[in-house]
Amino acid sequence: MKLFVGLGNPGAQYAFNRHNVGFMAVDAIAAAHDFPSWRKRFSGLAAEGKLGRETVLLLKPGTYVNESGRSVGEAVRFFKLELADVLVFHDELDLAPGKVRVKTGGGTAGHNGLRSLTAHIGNDYVRVRIGIGHPGHKDLVQSWVLHDFVKADRVWLEPLLGAIARAAPSLAEGANEKFQSFVARAMQSEAEAEEQPEPALRQRQANPSAETKAPDTLSSRLRRWLSS
């Protein structure tokens, strides 16, 4: 059993905040891999399914971000999980938008969700750090993370979530470098395609390749927002 945790704040008013990109990532995984409907469990919403040969529980804590550890701790204790089997998807100020890095343990870098997890379960869980960029000054951080992604962000956000979802089985199998490399290649292909001359870009949009096309990996609500 692996536990994939998305960090975010519950409630419709927070749904598309930068701070909620962890929720968006596990939503994309659930949609891409036909997980059953979310149900209330472990003080949050959970969905259990298969990624490759691994059984995975997706969890969105129903607490606010700074209390996420309470929900995650319940799940960890229930399944008697090792921390190496806990993977946490969260927003990362210190990475450029669209970049993803995976690491085990380390500091919390001021992230209140990570701080809560460390307090409740220990520090040696796996972090899937999803870059949202930095506003440039520490006084602007709270406003930055608690505001929605802007329309320009949607160019990279949808392909990124699609790539994360497609590569999620590698994470479940412990192949973290393979996951990270797949996401990087997918985003590079997307960037190169965007730089194509206009006729080539139109042709690509009409006949997207398997490498650059994002399958239906997003929840209907998220897809409507991205396309609005």
List of residues 6+ apart from 163 with CB closer than 8 A:
182, 183, 186, 187, 214
* Confidence (pTM): 0.88
Distance CA 156, CA 179 (A): 18
Residue matched to tokens 């602007």: 140
List of residues 6+ apart from 26 with CB closer than 8 A:
4, 5, 6, 58, 59, 60, 89
Task: Express each pLDDT in 68-124 by its tens digit.
Answer: 999 999 999 999 999 999 999 999 999 999 999 999 999 888 899 999 999 999 999
pLDDT at 224: 73
Distance CA 163, CA 165 (A): 5
User: Is there a catalytic annotation at residue 19?
Assistant: yes
User: Which one of 19, 33, 90, 111 is the catalytic residue?
Assistant: 19
Structural domains in the chain (count): 1
199 has a pLDDT exceeding 80 = no
Q: Residue 208 belongs to a domain with what CATH number?
A: 3.40.50.1470
Q: Which residue segment(s) compose the domain that 14 sits in?
A: 2-227
Task: Express each pLDDT in 158-171 by its tens digit.
Answer: 999 999 999 999 99
Distance CA 145, CA 48 (A): 29
pLDDT at 73: 98
